[in-house]
Amino acid sequence: MNYRRLKDLPEELLPRERLCQLGPEALSNSEVLAILLRTGLKGENVLSLAERILASVGGLSGLGKLTVHDLAQIHGLGKAKSAELKAALELGRRSVSVDPMSRPVVNSPQDVAHIVMEEMRYLDREHFRVLSLSTKNHVLGITSISIGSLNSSIVHPRECFKEAIRRNSNAIILLHNHPSGDPTPSQEDVEVTRRLAEGGKILGIEVIDHVIIGDNRYISLKERGII
């Protein structure tokens, strides 16, 4: 049966009730989105609206790439709902950032990718970051250095090592994403990596890798033999 109004659904099928009873893990993507949207349109309940939005943008991955302006162009959203939705997506993005209390251990490029992949794979511009490590390879934090195309003029050694020095880091791992989804390193990526590795030798802070994040793929410049 097609319910034009959400309140006509049996209570056990309402997204909010299902979340309270079964937990958020039991909900579909459209049900979670419906809870955030709260209301639908005349002749289209909020669950149908959520399903239509996800279908039109290519699912959650597509939704995460849209700006507030982009979202506001979708029929049924508007500026207010778009801003609220973008804020919710940002909270989700931040929630997968490194929790300094948990101090994950990094022993491989796979470990690095596991920490940052779900956030960085959806960024629409290049973000360059530095992951600081303790002597036992515990993550001390991740510092954002620049946003924009990677080049030696905006990625200065001073900025890259400043936070690592403050945290008394033993080593760092360089991170950046390729919005195209293809993590293949450019010549500029290689040059910046080698420049920072030389700077690390002078400071006594080893640059042990540079991990480039694509769309659910990554490349380690250490594994490529560049570092």
Residue among 29, 27, 84 at smallest CA distance from 62: 29
Write down the domain spans for the chain: 6-97, 102-224
The string over 204-223, giving b where at least 16 C-beta atoms fall within 10 Å of a residue's C-beta and e elsewhere, is ebbbbbbbbbbbeebbbbbe
**Its pTM surpasses 0.85:** no
- Residues 145/129, Cβ–Cβ less than 8 Å: yes
Superfamily covering domain 102-224? Cytidine Deaminase, domain 2 (3.40.140.10)
User: Biggest alpha carbon distance in the chain?
Assistant: 70
pLDDT tens, N- to C-terminus, the chain (227 residues): 444 455 555 555 678 888 888 888 788 888 899 999 988 888 888 888 999 999 998 888 788 888 899 999 999 898 999 999 999 888 877 665 555 545 788 999 999 998 888 888 888 888 899 999 999 898 988 888 888 766 544 677 888 898 889 888 999 999 999 999 999 999 999 999 999 999 999 999 999 999 999 999 999 999 999 88
